[in-house]
Chains A and B, each alone.
Chain A
Amino acid sequence: MGELMIVMDSTGRRRFLKKCLAGVLLGTSGRMGLLAAGEQGASLAKSRVVIARDALLRGAGTTVDSRRMLSLLDCAMQALFDRDNPIEAWKKLVRPGETVGLKVNALGGRGFSSNLQLVEAICERLQEAGIRANDIVVWDRDTDELEHAGFHVSTGGNSVQCFGTDRVDYEPDLVTHGSVGSRLSKILTQRCNVLINVPVLKDHDGAGVSVALKNMYGVIHNPNKYHPNGCNPYIADLNMLPEIRTTMRLTICDATTASYEGGPGYKPEYSWKNNALIVSQDPVALDYTGWQIIEHKRVEKGLKTLEADGRAPHYIATAADAQHRLGTNDPRRIAVVEV
């Protein structure tokens, strides 16, 4: 993104997007967000997956620059929603009065959790789109993990809320779908009616990759039960739960630092500074795209593909199958837009 003009006029932007779409690498209709579904035609359009990059995201140092991150996020959101203005893009997603949960991933600790500058940028734009600060909850399963990852825990007051499920517990009753029977976080069921998924792009020892769909393991009380057989069909079944499916509107995958091996924990030797965001309303298409990025990196590093390593993420195909229809894994139906 370093060379990309963030602010374009309408004609320029459309020309730019047209060019991007003409160069589509992969190609769906996935599950569109509630507000975007009508305009995009969920059943007919390709699923758009935007990959926004900024080679200078960290400047000369190792820390992500907040200003450049905000620009990168704007660039991704404008390309995803085909809007000239970032606030207009966000208004396509949320309405004032809604309560928004940002499901981050703090399991990887400070080195490999959802990027703080990214989460701050999302919160800033949500508020500019009319969401009250205290109607935004940044959350994951455990408050200590959030703190350890660098998040500032906040409960009450008028600021953005940030805490783990350990502060409010899980619902007492199990919800089930297929192979899954779990208790859901009360943050999901009682504190937010819109879910924005903010996972990290990772290799995963069990599932093959951990991107959007796998991040929902952090909303249940018993994720450790769902790792056999490459987490398949557990990941897909979990994402079928109505409490997840009906609230999930967008995934903003933090691919600023990503791993191609040794995941999901942080191992710097198998990670790289990718300086990118991957954004989509189709979590299956996003996972498929993330998988391809990781495979390319593995090839570059001289490693076997995940398939050859016996770790292909078969859960992605399950999530797209006729029993789940959570999105598409058909590259002909995924429009990857690189900005």
Chain B
Amino acid sequence: MSGAKGLILELERVSKTYRGRIRALRGISLNVRAGEVFGLLGPNGAGKSTLVKILMTVVKPSEARGTMLGCRIGDKRSLRRVGYLPEHHRFPPYLSGLQVLSYYGALSNVARRDRKTRSKELLDLVGMSKWGRTKVSKYSKGMNQRLGLAQALINDPDVVFLDEPTDGVDPLGRRDIREILKRLRDEGKTVFLNSHLLGEVEMVCDRVSILQHGNVVREGAIKELTKDSQRYEVEYEGTTEPGWLNQLKDVRIKDVKTASQNGGNGGGAASRDATARMMLILPAREAKDVQSVIDRLRREGRTIHRVEKRQDSLEDLFIKAVEESGDKPAGEAPGTNPSRTEGAKS
């Protein structure tokens, strides 16, 4: 039932303007492949939840083209094979954990016998089997999140949308949830993860999309998105003359940057700290590309303290993407065309 090229979700021109002319989404296009863990990132108000709510038919789009599981967006039939955990979800407080799973399972048209079997399995999966008969009004935030995750899986969905699933969960619980997400991926299910916790996303997501002001400003595999930020950092003792930097450029090392040990990319200029240690940041992907620089430093009798290969984290990428897009109006934000995001540089 999934669309072309194993796509679970194909979105084109999804836009939403709320009353009062608040433009939450400005014509988003993105694809999610079957069996991947896809992360949707963005600062507050970027439109992440609105996008998920449109897919879940909670919010009606101003415009939406595309398909989910082979059905057009907004078609309730596709929701039979979808699981959803909303942010700040609230379960009826008079129900027990098992009753919650049975209730939402029945709403998803799951047969009674399957609900019964699956509820116990899922409670076990999320580590809540001892609390199945306790009213949810007595649950902690973390327990509610775990139950929410179980609820999203009650209909054995092909794709599961999780909005901040680790919100309020302790570190051990987060680890458990990460393991569950990986397990779902291994079972061939697609996970659509919406989270602020970039570290979490980086650990489990195959691909991400970064939203800002209702636009996609980056989309792709995390490795692909950060590969241009690969660099070597060479920390040495001493000072560097401006002419030396020019010579480096002559030996094909491009865009040489130096920075103080105390942090901050120097933007191509060398800076000096109190201990007179310098750090060259060399935008190179291979070790051989930096050997000549190291040789030169040694020849000059400089002590090399550290040579390290570095790459931007997802958080760095996120901050850069958001800062770059700034408050630019619709249509001007970079990255709305996915091809531009691939080559984005700092």
Question: Do chains A and B stick together as partners?
Answer: no
